[in-house]
């Protein structure tokens, strides 16, 4: 029997309410600004990693299709770090699937690399703390560092790993995803961030003001102040997109449907039905509200032409291993 090590892990997407956008100008993939996120129970990635002596190179399959070039290189980069830690020489086969649109602005890379980090470390026989797994994931996808944790999480500027802030179980909020165009975005987030940092006259102001907004949002979360948190979230959204729209050439993820949804939320929200929007590197809109108002807000969204689906998300769990660590293990 050839040596074989395998594990399956599940991780959930997270949406940054206070945005991560931009990297420090140093090696290592460190965020330039602090971010605050909510891990979502309804959006998940399941990933199986098998290290086996029979493989002559790493293989990556996503949603039933073999993946090559840069996406495979990013996966191999994380696997290389884990192989080094475990003194393991075998290549791996990675089979991953999402239950939501991939690479369309719903943070599939966050859940994807978090699931990969958890599955691969366990398959390699490493018993690492969440902070160490978060660090491994961050080196490939900064937002994935937060998906290691459930509920509310933060990733400080220049931080090596994300912090778990709150499980989210004692505050009955939901984030409703209004899906518009499920197709892949025209420009990836990493490339877009680099363009914004290099060419947007507003990027420096974004980096300078982001920590203050982050601190306000964390205070609002601590006090369970939905209105304060929602307004911080919207400020962060517009400031992030300001750097995109003023890049050269401009990075435009917002579509007419995106704006229609935002206008609907702004016009309909009230003290009796509070609702706040955010949007990321994609056309979809996410709406923060209390669970008791989810049905009402969802009805607003479904009436907007161009909204193809709505997904009600509660605070989700931390990434976890789904199957035994090893199969057919030979020392």
Consecutive 10-residue runs of the chain (331 residues): their mean pLDDT? 78 97 95 98 97 96 93 96 97 95 77 98 96 98 97 98 89 96 84 97 98 98 97 98 98 96 98 97 96 98 96 97 58 33
Which residues are CB-contacts of 315 (< 8 A; sequence separation ≥ 6)? 38, 39, 40, 41, 150, 151, 152, 167, 168, 169, 171, 173
- The answer to whether 145 touches 135, Cβ cutoff 8 Å, is yes
Q: What was the pLDDT predicted at 329?
A: 42
Q: How many C-beta atoms surround the C-beta of residue 187 within 10 A?
A: 15
Q: What was the pLDDT predicted at 184?
A: 80
Residue range 173-313, CATH number? 3.30.70.890
Strand 276-278's sheet: what is its strand order?
276-278, 285-290, 173-179, 309-313
Residues 249 and 28: their CA atoms lie apart, in Å, by 26
**Token pair belonging to 41:** 């129970």
H helix and E strand count, the chain? 9, 12
270, with CB counted inside 10 A (0-12, 13-18, 19+), is: exposed
- Closest alpha carbon to 220 in 209, 210, 230: 230
- What is the model's pTM? 0.93
Q: What was the pLDDT predicted at 101?
A: 79
Q: What was the pLDDT predicted at 4?
A: 62
CATH 3.30.70.890 domain span(s) along the chain? 173-313
Q: What was the pLDDT predicted at 323?
A: 63
Residue recorded with tokens 């935002």? 262
203-222 helix and 226-245 helix, angle to the nearest 10 degrees: 170
Residue 207: C-alpha distances to residues 145, 197, 220 (Å): 20, 10, 21
- The answer to whether 241 touches 285, Cβ cutoff 8 Å, is no
Q: What was the pLDDT predicted at 328?
A: 44
- Closest alpha carbon to 319 in 49, 116, 124, 71: 116
54-71 in b/e burial notation, b at 16+ Cβ within 10 A? eeeebbbebeeeebeeee
Residue range 4-167, CATH number? 3.30.230.10
- Closest alpha carbon to 164 in 319, 314, 279: 319
CATH 3.30.230.10 domain span(s) along the chain? 4-167
């Amino acid at each position: 029997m050839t040596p074989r090590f395998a594990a399956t892990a599940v991780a959930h997407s997270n949406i940054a309410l206070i945005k991560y956008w931009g990297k420090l100008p140093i090696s290592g993939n460190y965020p330039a600004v602090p971010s605050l996120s909510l891990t979502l129970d309804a959006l998940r990635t399941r990933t199986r990693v098998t290290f086996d002596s029979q493989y002559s190179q790493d293989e990556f399959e996503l949603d039933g299709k073999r993946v090559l070039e840069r996406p495979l290189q990013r996966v191999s980069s994380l696997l290389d770090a884990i192989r080094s830690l475990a003194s393991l020489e075998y290549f791996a086969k990675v089979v991953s699937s999402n239950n939501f649109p991939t690479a369309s602005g719903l943070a599939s890379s966050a859940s994807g690399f978090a699931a990969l980090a958890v599955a691969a470390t366990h398959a390699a026989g490493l018993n690492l703390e969440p902070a160490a797994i978060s660090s491994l994931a961050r080196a490939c996808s900064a937002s994935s560092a937060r998906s290691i944790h459930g509920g509310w999480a933060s990733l400080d500027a220049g931080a090596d790993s994300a912090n778990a802030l709150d499980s989210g179980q004692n505050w009955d909020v939901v984030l409703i995803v209004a899906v518009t165009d499920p197709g892949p975005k025209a420009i990836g987030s990493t490339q877009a961030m680099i363009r914004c940092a290099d060419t947007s006259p507003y990027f420096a102001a974004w980096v300078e003001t982001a920590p203050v907004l982050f601190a306000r949002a964390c205070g609002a979360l601590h006090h369970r102040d939905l209105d304060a948190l929602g307004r911080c979230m919207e400020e962060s959204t517009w400031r992030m997109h300001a750097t995109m729209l003023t890049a050269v050439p401009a990075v435009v993820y917002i579509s007419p449907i995106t704006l229609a949804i935002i206008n609907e939320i702004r016009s309909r929200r009230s003290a009796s039905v509070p609702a706040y929007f955010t949007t990321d590197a994609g056309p979809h809109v996410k709406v923060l509200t209390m669970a008791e108002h989810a049905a009402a807000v969802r009805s607003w969204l479904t009436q907007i032409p161009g909204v193809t689906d709505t997904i009600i998300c509660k605070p989700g769990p931390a990434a976890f291993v789904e199957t035994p660590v090893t199969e057919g293990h030979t020392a």
